[in-house]
Amino acid sequence: MAWSLEIEIQFYMLMPLIAGVLSLGKWRRPLLLLCIVAFSALRLTLDPMRTVLSVLGNLQFFLAGLLQAELYVLGLPEKSC
């Protein structure tokens, strides 16, 4: 699967930008969710043959994985009554 290696390389090139988003404190989870929805919608509107080999068509999967890892490590916020 050569395509997955290309996408992974592109992802790691974007990782400093993504790390900047993850350092935003309380806004990181809503921003990650917004980006996941936005990139999912963008993938539906773009030509699938052009986005298959780019991180643009697959970034929502990486972001969902980052969100899942954060929820696993940090847990959900406590509700204050």
Residue 1 pLDDT > 50, yes or no? Answer: no
Instruction: Tell me the CA distances in angstroms from 2 to 5, 9, 36, one per residue in order.
Output: 5, 11, 24
80 falls within a domain? no
81 falls within a domain? no
pLDDT bucket at 4, cuts 50 / 70 / 90: confident
Burial (CB < 10 A; 0-12, 13-18, 19+), residue 67, is middle
Question: Does the global pTM surpass 0.75?
Answer: no
Residue 15 pLDDT > 80, yes or no? Answer: yes
Domain count, the chain: 1
64 falls within a domain? yes
Domain span at residue 49 reads 2-15+25-73
20 falls within a domain? no
46 falls within a domain? yes
50 falls within a domain? yes
78 falls within a domain? no
pLDDT tens digits, one per residue of 18-41: 778 777 778 888 888 998 999 888
